[in-house]
Every structure is written in C-alpha cells, then in structure tokens.
Amino acid sequence: MATVEVTTANFKETVVDNDFVLVDFWASWCGPCRQFAPVYDKASERHPDLVFAKVDTEAQQDLAAQFDIRSIPTLMVIREQVMIYSQPGALPEEALEDLIRQARELDMDKVRAEIAQQPQPQE
C-alpha cells in the first residue's frame, strides 16, 4: 500500500478504521524528512496490510500540536487505537523493519492491561 496523506479531518477515522497505523510527521523543508521518505515508502510496499500515513506538519499545524510534535521527522505507531511508539528521528531501513516486527509481536491485551493499571491524572 502506498502512503496516505492524513489531515485533521481524517486522522481519527484513519486510526479507528485500521488496526495498525504508522504515522510520519514531516515537512518539505526538512532534510532528514526527505532522506527518510524513500525508506518509509519502501516499507509501505513491503507491508501492504499496514497503513503508512504522512502528516505534513506545515499544512497540519493543529494536528502536529495535538501530538506535541517538536522535532521532525517523528514516527508514531498506533495499534488498535493505542499509541505504542513515538520518537523523533529518521530511522534506517533495518531499524524501521525491526520496529514494525516488534510492534506486530506486541500483545495488545497486555498493553491495555498495563495502561489500565497506570495512575490516572487528577483533574
């Protein structure tokens, strides 16, 4: 599957309708973003069962702010509507493949149980 452009209008729908979404927060002026783009695109072709989304932080400033994106590229992995990874920096191909493998292997029931045990912030 090719990468899909995600905006404020379709982000929630993309995450809700798909069990496994990778999100690349990028900008056209960002050198490391341009270097990472072909690695990300190749991975999208190798893993057609996953959604590879791209968020242009210049055009989607509200969405970038919502996720507190302070450095680009930032890669986020969302499985079953749970963010399981979010780190800035361009990954080499091998590291991206390893991240995808590890994310696939996660026991999401265990992840949700661990989240449920965490203290909730006081309002």
Catalytic site positions: 30, 33
- Could you tell me if 49 and 101 are in contact, meaning their C-beta atoms sit under 8 angstroms apart? no
How many whole angstroms separate alpha carbon 31 and alpha carbon 26? 10
- Could you tell me if 99 and 39 are in contact, meaning their C-beta atoms sit under 8 angstroms apart? no
3-class DSSP string for 23-46: EEEECCCCHHHHHHHHHHHHHHHH
Q: Mention every residue, 6+ apart, whose C-beta is less than 8 A from residue 35.
A: 90
